[in-house]
Amino acid sequence: MNESSRPMNEMELLRELAQQTPLPAPAELAAARARLVAAIATDPATYATAVAQVTTDQPAPSPGQPAEPPRPPAPAPVQSAARFMYGGAISSAVLLIVALPFAGDVKGNVLGHRLTPTPLIITLVILAGLAVIGLWLWMARVTTQGRNWARILSTVLFGLATLELLSALEAIGTNGVAQAVITALTWLSGLGAVWMLWRPASSAFFKSARAARSRAPSQISGP
Amino acid sequence: MRRRRGSAAADDDAAVIESSWREPERFAVLFDRHAPHIHRYLARRADRQVAGDLVAETFLAAFAKRDRYDLGYADARPWLYGIATNLVGQHRRDQTRQYRITQAAPAEPEVPGHAEKVAADVTAQAMRTLLAGALATLSAGDRDVLLLIAWEQLTYQEVARALAIPVGTVQSRLHRARAKVRQVLAGTEAGATYEELTKNE
């Protein structure tokens, strides 16, 4: 069959008509590109990159000082995870305050029967609460430094927090609804943090941070 | 086309997006690479002025969710076309809503087929009235599939990825859309014009 006399079908007709729309001139895209560049400039990772650039532009350490390996900036999901962890620290602090009146009510969890609140028990509860808050803050710090073990430890701790949530829900009648709600909020902070820590961008960050650390010794020992 | 992780060419779209996680300014490379074609697609479906806004919103949305991009796909075009198509749909709904608001007071006159008119309006800028009218009779989903394949030359798999639907749905929508366009064109006064156009003589 002669190609020129073959009837066009609707797809070919559509394609032919579409050819009438030319590609845009660069000027037509300038405004869109400017909006994107403005969004890039305000992205947290851009700020982190700039900070890292300033850091790497610093003079080399003196021979006696160990060189700090250049660290890739934390991407947005890791920074979000850190924010969730700060939120977890705050809700843990609130939980500690709310839980203080029940400090003597450690039945079953420790010795299997109710204890009388004593200064020692109250001190231990406060110390445990402070340790939890410190753990949140520490995890937030080391995950933004790209430590993969911190990501794994955070996930394990989240598993433990899930068990704590279940026991808190069981104890609603004993310790009050407020404590259970705050425990649930704390758990949600952990959920958000773990979710963000395992995003693809986060995984790439932890991987590149590990690679940067592994390169560091050769840089230090180089000429 | 899906590729194995870790086998990225140094400058394919997936590699650019991955590097933009740490260096956001790298995302501009993706804009320079694909924005002209996305703009042309939007200009065909809306109009040229609206296309300028929509292409900006497409890349802003893509930039905002770049950390969710599946690096298994080296080519980001279907992802970008998917975002652009959603924005066109949103734009069309906004236009229809605006049209209804302006028609609401004092008494809403009977406007036969105004939704079709709106759909035709946003496509007629880039197409002849004949085909715009036929396209306006399609459902939004069928039209998206037809135009991504006919205009942007995406494969079934790429359209499926862009619209987040199964490949089988792409095929059935395309079949339905083509049949409907043929039917509409053949059944209107423009049918003779269509016949002339399709002779390609």
pLDDT at position B115 is 53
Distance (Å) from the C-alpha of residue B198 to the closest C-alpha of chain A?
A: 4
Residues in chain B within 8 Å Cβ distance of A39: 60, 63-64
How does pLDDT run along chain A (223 residues), one tens digit per residue?
444 455 567 788 788 777 778 889 888 899 999 999 888 887 766 655 555 555 455 444 455 554 454 556 678 888 899 999 999 999 888 888 877 766 555 544 544 555 566 777 778 878 888 999 999 999 999 998 888 899 999 999 898 888 877 876 776 655 567 777 888 888 899 999 999 999 888 887 887 777 766 655 444 333 3
In the block, which residue shows the tokens 């200009």? B43
Find, among A149, A150, A165, A144, the residue nearest to A91 by Cα. Answer: A165
The DSSP output letter for A65 is S
Listing DSSP states for B36-77 in one string gives HHHHHHHHHHS-HHHHHHHHHHHHHHHHHTGGG--TTBS--H
CA distance A41 to chain B (A): 8
Is residue A15 within 8 angstroms of chain B, CB to CB? yes
Which string of b and e fits B21-40 if b means at least 16 CB within 10 Å?
bbbbebbbbbbeebbbbbbb
Q: Containing H/E element for A192? A: helix A177-197
Q: Is the pTM of this model over 0.80?
A: no
Distance CA A180, CA A94 (A): 12
Contact A39 B60 (CB under 8 A): yes
pLDDT tens, position by position, for chain B (201 residues)?
Answer: 555 444 455 688 999 998 888 888 899 999 999 999 999 999 988 878 889 999 999 999 999 888 888 888 999 999 999 999 999 988 888 777 766 665 555 444 444 455 555 554 544 444 467 777 788 889 999 999 999 999 898 999 999 999 999 999 999 999 999 998 888 777 655 555 555 555 544
* CA dist., res. A92 & res. A182, Å (int): 8
Confidence at residue B10, expressed as pLDDT on a 0 to 100 scale:
67
Q: For position A153, what pLDDT does the model report?
A: 92
CA distance B42 to B91: 11
Q: Is A6 on the interface with B (CB under 8 A)?
A: yes
**CA–CA min distance B93, chain A (Å):** 22
Amino acid (one-letter) located at B124: A
Selection from B149, B141, B148, B137 nearest residue B179 by Cα: B137
Amino acid letter, residue A79: Q
Please report which helix (H) or strand (E) contains residue B142, including its range: helix B140-150
A212 backbone dihedrals φ, ψ, rounded to 5°: -65, -40
Distance, CA of A69 to CA of A208 (rounded, Å): 12
Q: How many other CB atoms are there within 10 angstroms of residue A110's CB atom?
A: 10
Residues 6+ away with beta carbon under 8 Å from A216: A67, A69
Say if the Cβ atoms of B56 and A23 lie within 8 Å: no
The domain locations on chain A are: 78-200
Say what the pLDDT of residue B116 is: 53
In DSSP terms, B2 is beta-bridged to: B73
Domains of chain B and any CATH numbers: 13-199 (1.20.140.160)
Q: Is the minimum CB–CB distance between A42 and chain B shorter than 8 Å? A: no
For residue A75, give the nearest of B79, B65, B31 by alpha carbon.
B65
**pLDDT tens readout for residues A100-152:** 766 555 544 544 555 566 777 778 878 888 999 999 999 999 998 888 899 99
- Which residues in chain A have Cβ-Cβ distances shorter than 8 Å to B19? none
Asked if the Cβ–Cβ distance from A28 to B25 is below 8 Å, we say no
Residue-level pLDDT at A9: 74
- Name the nearest CA neighbour of B71 among A43, A201, A49, A196: A201
Q: Which pLDDT belongs to residue A167?
A: 75
DSSP state of A102: G
Q: Cα–Cα distance between B9 and B6 in angstroms, integer?
A: 9
